Amino acid sequence: MSNESLRVRRIKEGTVIDHIPAGLALTVMQILGIKGKEENVIAMVMNVESEKLGKKDILKIEGKELKPEEVNKVALVAPTATINIIKDYAVVKKFRVSIPDEIRGIISCPNPTCITRREQIEPRFKVISRNPLKLQCEYCGTYVNREEVIQQLVK
């Protein structure tokens, strides 16, 4: 973890999501369903200098470890993010998020006449491109871009 992220109080147990593209920390919070009404400490730092990104956001969430599905959601919204798992004030695991080749169930197909909108089945999307993000419904072929993904995830 870089020095500037230490401006905010360190957390004992939890997750630090670093290298979020500047301005997206709030969106990441929303897609993780964090409302701020929970008991745990949440720290958000926005627009700090970053060697890699120029500017970046950082999000620290005490007492939470992300589930694989949540990591995939973060990857879709903030593909540059790194995830640090903190145990007893130390980083015990650090990894960069990655968008899998196939997205299952995280979002629904935006095409109203797609069979996945009618039957109780898990929507599946092929990842056609990561940057810019472009997914394709495996049933109806419809493209889904990053804006649409974010729109659905923050709902």
Site residues, other proteins (CB under 8 A) = 111, 113-121, 136-143
Q: Which is nearer to Zn ion, 90 or 121 (CB)?
A: 121
How far apart are CB 111 and other proteins at their closest, in Å?
7
Residue with tokens 């599946």: 124
Distance CA 151, CA 113 (A): 19
Binding segment for Zn ion (CB under 5 A), chosen from 6-14, 38-46, 54-62, 133-141, is: 133-141
Q: Which does 3 bind (CB under 5 to 8 A by kind): other proteins, Zn ion, none?
A: none
Distance CA 59, CA 1 (A): 12
Binding segment for Zn ion (CB under 5 A), chosen from 5-13, 111-119, 127-135, 145-153, is: 111-119
Distance CA 55, CA 68 (A): 26
In 5-81, DSSP assigns E strands to 14-21, 42-50, 54-62
Q: Which is nearer to other proteins, 35 or 118 (CB)?
A: 118
Q: Is the peptide bond preceding residue 132 cis, with omega within 30 degrees of 0?
A: yes
DSSP state of 7: G
Q: Which does 121 bind (CB under 5 to 8 A by kind): other proteins, Zn ion, none?
A: other proteins
How far apart are CB 139 and other proteins at their closest, in Å?
3
